[in-house]
Amino acid sequence: MLSQLCYTIFEKSIQRYHIADDIDETIQNPYQIGTIEHLLYAKNWIDTIQWHLEDIIRKPSIDPLLALQIKRRIDQSNQERTDSVEHLDAYFLEKYKHIQPTASAKMNTESPAWAIDRLSILALKIYHMQQEVDRKEATTAHIHACQQKLHILLQQQKDLSTAIDELLQEIEQGTKYMKVYKQMKMYNDPTLNPILYAEHSKPIE
């Protein structure tokens, strides 16, 4: 099942990151370029770095200049995350391009890659919630609350994995078909964000 492969790779990426636990660490992707394994590992690495950037920027005493730098990195990471999802969807489109949908086939509201994106984030939630459960200095009440949340997250992981595998099976059978739209985010594009193109058009004094 693809969902099991995805989750195994996500766990490997998360565990590898936490060896150094450094947002500036360079990815060392162990999988061959062009494979889905390579795409999945790269996708989760982006998510993992961004997870920790989101933690850092919420520090109440953070230096404003550092906060701005982190916010810019998060903006860039969001674009990279979107790009990684679109690369995954391109993989699936190529894989299933010869499948002829049945006359009664329905379009799914979510592409396979965006469902896998949610599984990647869920893997991060599960990893960090487990850390909270294992915190030795935490109160009993905190640990108990986190155990309950972890139980729910694990059920979500099971349900989402099942949904992903069922969706891919239905696409293979032709009872559902993929239709992918590019995100077309405008705020990172200097030709589409009015603040950016106004800045570029200012006369030099």
pLDDT digits (tens, 9 = 90+) for 102-146: 999 999 889 999 999 999 999 999 999 999 999 999 999 999 999
Query: CA 192: distance to chain centroid?
Result: 25
Distance separating alpha carbons of residues 43 and 22, to the nearest angstrom: 17
pLDDT attached to residue 179 = 83
Is the pLDDT at 99 greater than 70, yes or no? yes
Distance separating alpha carbons of residues 27 and 84, to the nearest angstrom: 14
17-34: average pLDDT: 96
Q: What is the pLDDT of residues 29-69, one digit of tens each?
A: 999 999 999 999 999 999 999 999 999 999 999 999 999 99
Beta bridge partners of 177: 107
Cβ 41 vs Cβ 31: under 8 Å: yes
Q: What is the pLDDT of residues 156-189, one digit of tens each?
A: 999 999 999 999 999 999 999 988 777 666 777 7
pLDDT attached to residue 201 = 65
Give the predicted TM-score (pTM) of the model. Answer: 0.90
Return the domain boundaries, the chain. Answer: 2-189
Contacts of residue 184, defined as CB under 8 A and 6 or more positions apart, other chains included, come to: none
Distance separating alpha carbons of residues 94 and 201, to the nearest angstrom: 41
